[in-house]
Protein backbone atom coordinates (compact mmCIF):
# COMPACT_ATOMS: atom_id res chain seq x y z
CA UNK A 1 0.00 0.00 0.00
CA UNK A 2 1.06 3.59 -0.47
CA UNK A 3 0.16 6.42 1.87
CA UNK A 4 -0.69 9.98 0.91
CA UNK A 5 1.96 12.09 -0.82
CA UNK A 6 4.88 12.92 1.48
CA UNK A 7 4.20 10.07 3.90
CA UNK A 8 6.50 7.16 4.65
CA UNK A 9 6.39 3.73 6.31
CA UNK A 10 2.96 2.72 4.95
CA UNK A 11 1.14 -0.27 6.43
CA UNK A 12 -2.11 -1.90 5.44
CA UNK A 13 -4.17 -4.66 6.99
CA UNK A 14 -7.62 -6.03 6.43
CA UNK A 15 -9.49 -9.19 7.14
CA UNK A 16 -12.03 -10.81 9.38
CA UNK A 17 -11.68 -12.00 12.98
CA UNK A 18 -13.73 -14.72 14.62
CA UNK A 19 -14.86 -13.17 17.91
CA UNK A 20 -15.86 -16.49 19.43
CA UNK A 21 -12.22 -17.24 20.22
CA UNK A 22 -10.49 -15.59 23.16
CA UNK A 23 -8.27 -12.65 22.29
CA UNK A 24 -8.62 -12.31 18.51
CA UNK A 25 -6.29 -9.68 17.10
CA UNK A 26 -4.41 -8.72 13.93
CA UNK A 27 -1.44 -6.46 13.48
CA UNK A 28 1.24 -5.03 11.23
CA UNK A 29 4.59 -3.46 12.12
CA UNK A 30 7.42 -1.45 10.64
CA UNK A 31 11.00 -1.35 11.84
CA UNK A 32 13.09 1.80 12.32
CA UNK A 33 16.86 1.87 11.87
CA UNK A 34 18.52 3.44 14.93
CA UNK A 35 15.72 5.96 15.44
CA UNK A 36 16.63 8.55 18.09
CA UNK A 37 13.45 10.51 18.77
CA UNK A 38 14.41 12.34 21.98
CA UNK A 39 13.94 15.69 20.21
CA UNK A 40 10.33 14.86 19.38
CA UNK A 41 7.12 14.80 21.41
CA UNK A 42 5.03 12.66 19.10
CA UNK A 43 4.16 11.60 15.59
CA UNK A 44 1.41 12.16 13.05
CA UNK A 45 -0.24 9.31 11.18
CA UNK A 46 -2.34 9.42 8.04
CA UNK A 47 -5.13 6.87 8.43
CA UNK A 48 -7.72 5.50 6.06
CA UNK A 49 -10.07 2.74 7.08
CA UNK A 50 -13.26 1.47 8.59
CA UNK A 51 -13.58 3.91 11.50
CA UNK A 52 -12.91 1.27 14.16
CA UNK A 53 -10.48 1.54 17.08
CA UNK A 54 -6.89 0.40 16.59
CA UNK A 55 -3.82 0.65 18.78
CA UNK A 56 -0.42 2.07 17.90
CA UNK A 57 2.41 0.52 19.97
CA UNK A 58 6.02 1.68 20.02
CA UNK A 59 8.90 -0.66 20.80
CA UNK A 60 12.41 0.35 21.88
CA UNK A 61 15.66 -1.64 21.78
CA UNK A 62 15.13 -3.08 25.29
CA UNK A 63 11.69 -4.41 24.43
CA UNK A 64 12.79 -5.69 21.04
CA UNK A 65 15.64 -7.67 22.61
CA UNK A 66 13.21 -9.18 25.14
CA UNK A 67 10.82 -10.21 22.36
CA UNK A 68 13.33 -11.93 20.07
CA UNK A 69 12.42 -15.58 20.32
CA UNK A 70 10.00 -15.00 23.20
CA UNK A 71 6.39 -14.10 23.60
CA UNK A 72 5.12 -14.30 27.14
CA UNK A 73 3.12 -11.91 29.31
CA UNK A 74 6.24 -10.40 30.90
CA UNK A 75 7.40 -9.16 27.50
CA UNK A 76 4.15 -7.78 26.11
CA UNK A 77 4.64 -4.33 27.57
CA UNK A 78 4.68 -1.98 24.60
CA UNK A 79 3.59 1.58 25.37
CA UNK A 80 0.77 2.59 23.06
CA UNK A 81 -2.56 4.34 22.64
CA UNK A 82 -5.86 3.83 20.83
CA UNK A 83 -6.90 5.77 17.73
CA UNK A 84 -9.69 5.64 15.16
CA UNK A 85 -8.58 4.44 11.74
CA UNK A 86 -10.28 6.60 9.15
CA UNK A 87 -13.96 7.35 8.98
CA UNK A 88 -15.12 4.83 6.38
CA UNK A 89 -15.25 7.46 3.61
CA UNK A 90 -12.10 6.32 1.80
CA UNK A 91 -10.28 9.60 2.43
CA UNK A 92 -7.14 10.08 4.52
CA UNK A 93 -7.42 11.48 8.06
CA UNK A 94 -4.62 12.73 10.32
CA UNK A 95 -4.12 11.42 13.83
CA UNK A 96 -1.57 13.04 16.14
CA UNK A 97 -0.04 10.76 18.78
CA UNK A 98 1.77 12.33 21.74
CA UNK A 99 4.48 10.23 23.36
CA UNK A 100 3.14 11.45 26.73
CA UNK A 101 -0.19 9.66 26.16
CA UNK A 102 1.40 6.26 25.49
CA UNK A 103 0.62 3.69 28.18
CA UNK A 104 1.16 0.00 28.66
CA UNK A 105 -1.91 -2.19 28.80
CA UNK A 106 -2.93 -3.12 32.34
CA UNK A 107 -1.66 -6.55 33.29
CA UNK A 108 0.53 -6.89 30.19
CA UNK A 109 4.08 -7.14 31.42
CA UNK A 110 6.53 -5.37 33.61
CA UNK A 111 6.56 -1.58 33.76
CA UNK A 112 9.03 -0.05 31.32
CA UNK A 113 9.62 3.55 30.26
CA UNK A 114 9.89 3.90 26.49
CA UNK A 115 13.44 4.88 25.49
CA UNK A 116 13.03 7.44 22.71
CA UNK A 117 16.78 7.42 22.05
CA UNK A 118 16.50 3.93 20.61
CA UNK A 119 13.05 3.52 19.06
CA UNK A 120 12.94 0.35 16.93
CA UNK A 121 9.38 -0.51 15.87
CA UNK A 122 5.88 0.82 15.42
CA UNK A 123 3.00 -1.65 15.38
CA UNK A 124 -0.65 -1.16 14.53
CA UNK A 125 -2.98 -3.66 16.23
CA UNK A 126 -6.66 -4.40 15.75
CA UNK A 127 -8.17 -6.07 18.81
CA UNK A 128 -11.65 -7.38 18.05
CA UNK A 129 -12.58 -7.66 21.71
CA UNK A 130 -11.23 -4.24 22.76
CA UNK A 131 -13.16 -2.58 19.93
CA UNK A 132 -16.25 -2.79 22.13
CA UNK A 133 -17.85 0.35 20.70
CA UNK A 134 -19.25 -1.63 17.80
CA UNK A 135 -18.99 -5.31 18.78
CA UNK A 136 -22.30 -6.60 20.13
CA UNK A 137 -23.14 -9.82 21.93
CA UNK A 138 -24.65 -11.08 18.67
CA UNK A 139 -21.54 -10.43 16.56
CA UNK A 140 -19.51 -13.46 15.56
CA UNK A 141 -17.23 -12.13 12.84
CA UNK A 142 -15.53 -8.74 12.79
CA UNK A 143 -14.38 -7.23 9.49
CA UNK A 144 -11.50 -4.76 9.73
CA UNK A 145 -9.56 -2.55 7.32
CA UNK A 146 -6.91 0.00 8.19
CA UNK A 147 -4.18 1.77 6.22
CA UNK A 148 -1.63 3.83 8.13
CA UNK A 149 1.36 5.90 7.04
CA UNK A 150 3.71 8.03 9.10
CA UNK A 151 3.54 11.63 7.88
CA UNK A 152 5.88 13.37 10.30
CA UNK A 153 7.53 13.43 13.70
CA UNK A 154 6.39 16.31 15.95
CA UNK A 155 9.38 18.29 17.32
CA UNK A 156 9.50 19.16 21.04
CA UNK A 157 8.53 22.74 21.78
CA UNK A 158 11.32 24.82 23.22
CA UNK A 159 10.58 26.24 26.67
CA UNK A 160 10.18 30.02 26.71
CA UNK A 161 13.00 31.89 28.41
* Nearest C-alpha neighbor of 55 from the set 20, 104, 115, 109: 104
CA pair distance 125, 144, nearest whole angstrom: 11
% of the chain beyond a pLDDT of 90: 33
Q: What is the pLDDT of residues 18-55, one digit of tens each?
A: 766 656 678 888 888 777 899 999 999 999 999 989 99
Radius of gyration over every alpha carbon of the chain, rounded to an integer in angstroms: 16
What's the pTM value of the predicted model, to 2 decimals? 0.81
Read off the pLDDT of residues 138-158 as tens digits, 9 standing for 90 and up: 556 678 899 999 999 999 986
CA atoms of 36 and 117, how far apart (whole Å): 4
CB 146 within 8 A of CB 124: yes
Residue 35 near residue 120, CB atoms below 8 Å: yes
Strand partners, 127: 25
Amino acid sequence: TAGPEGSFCPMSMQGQLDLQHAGPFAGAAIRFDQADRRDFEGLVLATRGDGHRYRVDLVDLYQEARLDGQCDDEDLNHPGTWFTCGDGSGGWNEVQISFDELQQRAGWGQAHTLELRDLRRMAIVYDGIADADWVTGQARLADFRCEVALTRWVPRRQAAL
